[in-house]
Amino acid sequence: MAKLPEVDEFYTWHLDVCHKMTPLLLKGMEIAKDKVANGVKGWVFDDWLRKQNPDLIAEWGVVRSVMNLLSDSTPDSKDMTVVMDYFVETSNNKKKVPHIIQSLFAHNIASYMQGKKGGKPITLDQAFGLENKRGHPKRSYRLAIDVIGITKELIEKELELTLAIESYQEIQNEKNIDTETSTETLRTMFHEQKVHALMDVVMRSQVLSNFNPSDKAKDLIGKYWTAEQDPLKIGTNRKKS
**pLDDT for 56-65, tens place per residue?**
999 989 988 8
Burial of residue 140 (CB within 10 Å: 0-12, 13-18, 19+) is: exposed
**pLDDT for 128-174, tens place per residue?**
888 876 555 444 445 788 999 999 999 999 999 999 999 999 988 88
78 and 175 housed in the same domain: no
99 and 158 housed in the same domain: no
158 and 69 housed in the same domain: no
**What is the per-residue pLDDT for 3?**
47
Greatest pairwise CA separation for the chain in angstroms:
64
> What domain range includes position 152?
145-221
Residue 97 backbone phi and psi in degrees, to 5: -85, 130
| Residue 186 located in a structural domain | yes
167 and 86 housed in the same domain: no
Is the pLDDT at 176 greater than 80? The verdict is no
Average pLDDT estimate for 5-23? 78
Looking at the structure of the chain, the number of domains it has is 2
| Residue 241 located in a structural domain | no
Cα separation, 229 vs 165, in Å, equals 20
217 and 172 housed in the same domain: yes
171 and 100 housed in the same domain: no
29 and 104 housed in the same domain: yes
**What is the per-residue pLDDT for 206?**
63
154 and 109 housed in the same domain: no
**pLDDT for 87-129, tens place per residue?**
999 999 999 898 888 888 888 898 889 888 888 888 889 888 8
Strand segments, DSSP code E, in 12-157 are none
Cα–Cα distances in angstroms (integers) from residue 172 to residues 130, 157, 217, in the given order: 40, 16, 22
User: DSSP 3-state assignment of 235?
Assistant: coil
User: DSSP 3-state assignment of 8?
Assistant: helix
User: DSSP 3-state assignment of 93?
Assistant: coil
152 and 99 housed in the same domain: no
